[in-house]
Structure 1
Amino acid sequence: MPLQSRFLSQLDVHSEKLLKMFKNRGGQIGRRLGGIIAPMDEDDDVDLGRECVIKALCVYLNEDPENLLREYVAADESLLQESIEETTMGIYVWKHRDDSEKPEDIGIVLESQIVMQDMDSVPLAAAMLFGLIYSLNLNYPAELKYTFEVLQKVVMELEGNALSKKPKS
């Protein structure tokens, strides 16, 4: 199965329904979701939209998107290295001071080691991280269990349709 094209195209297929769910969510989580998906209204960038959907999915499932994706400013190189050493699994984005520019680097960390870098976008990095977890038969990180379960079973349509109770709600 072609991981990159399948992941990104299926994410696009499900995005409309996911966005509708996010917009219908009320309360504090609904306000947080609104803030995460707001950049999609201002920018037509497909990758930005996919990134917003992935982050919002984490929040919708009551998981912290910071556990999946951490952003750093270019001046914080030592902070980036410290954080990588403390990271079991995740994606990092190293940006310039000017937020409008393309990130300097996007990469994947497994077991405190950068295993992939110079990725084109956060959604691509999420697809590659999912692929690494799946192909290396790693357990999903406990703090992102439901997010990865939805990516596996709903987006990628792998290993059955039965979701645990939390993603069904």
Structure 2
Amino acid sequence: MSVLDRHTPKLLMLFRAKGGALGRRLEIIMELLQDSVHSSIERTREVVLRCLIEYLGEQVGHLIKEFNDTENLEELEQLILAITVTPKPGASTSNSPKNIGIVIEGMEVITGLGDIARACSVLLGLTYALNLNYPTQLKYTFEVFQKLFLELDDSKLSSKVQSLKSKLEA
């Protein structure tokens, strides 16, 4: 978390400078930071992580699955590796507190993680502990988590992640 926090100002600057269709998608995600009532370090981390996934050319929906009601929860069984955001029992509105958990191979393995950034770090730990492969559609995201944020095996970077690292160090 501390490395993510250290890179946050530079990452937000990179995201704001992006143009075109990607810039518009990033702008929509960053609008969550404009709401000062719900502004917090957890919200900022979530926005940065969501933007990072888009910035790397991957889709947030491949990692974070949001469910607005309990009727679609059968879809959990189809997930291989994901962070889930579901309504808490008894929640009545879309602004109600959410339950954040992790699903591996259709089974909810942990819930009550509190925020997306914490869920990402737990998910990364679980992939190491269980010796799981990273999802191919999120290979750059997990490479950034591992090699830039955890600084593990950071000598061999893909060109996309090397470019991001160079921009962060500039």
TM (norm. structure 2) is: 0.87
1:93-108 equivalence runs, <5 A? 93-95=85-87, 96-103=91-98, 105-108=99-102
What does residue 12 of structure 1 align with?
5
Residue identity over aligned pairs, in percent, reads: 39
AA at the equivalent of 2:26: L
**Residue aligned with 1:163, SS:** coil
Amino acid at match of 1:39: L
Aligned to 1:113: 107
SS at match of 2:112: coil
**CA RMSD of superposed structures (Å):** 1.4
What TM-score do you get using the length of structure 1 for normalisation? Answer: 0.88
| AA of the residue aligned to 2:84 | Y
- Which amino acid is the alignment partner of residue 88 of structure 1? I
Query: 1:130 is matched by which residue type in structure 2?
Result: L
Question: Using the alignment, how far apart are the partners of 2:143 and 2:92 within structure 1?
Answer: 34
- Does the 8 Å CA contact 2:148/2:154 hold for their aligned counterparts? no
Q: Is 1:90 aligned with 2:85?
A: no
Candidates 132, 135, 145, aligned match of 1:141: 135
* Deviation of 1:42 (Å): 1.9
Tell me which of 44, 61, 74 is aligned to 1:49.
44
Match of 1:28 in 2: 21
Q: Give me the whole-angstrom Cα distance separating, in 2, the residues matched to 1:78 and 1:42.
A: 29
Cα deviations across residues 50-69 of structure 1 (Å, max 9, x unaligned)?
Answer: 11111111100110000110
Q: Which amino acid aligns with 1:90?
A: A
The structure 2 residue matched to 1:69, chosen from 57, 64, 69, is 64
Deviation for aligned residue 1:123: 1.2
SS in 1 for 2:157: coil
Q: CA deviation at 1:97?
A: 4.4
Kindly indicate whether structure 1 or structure 2 has the higher relative contact order, using CA contacts under 8 Å at least 6 residues apart: 1
CA change 1:41–1:161 in 2 (3 A) is farther
**2:131 is paired with a residue of what secondary structure?**
coil
1:28-87 Cα shifts (integer Å, max 9, x gaps): 0011001111111223211111111111111001100001101112xx32311x211110
User: Cα distance 1:60–1:97, how it changes in 2: closer, same or farther (>3 A)?
Assistant: farther
Whether contact under 8 Å (1:154, 1:161) holds in the other structure is no
Deviates more, 1:119-128 or 1:56-65: 119-128
User: Which runs of 5 or more residues in structure 1 are unaligned?
Assistant: 1-7
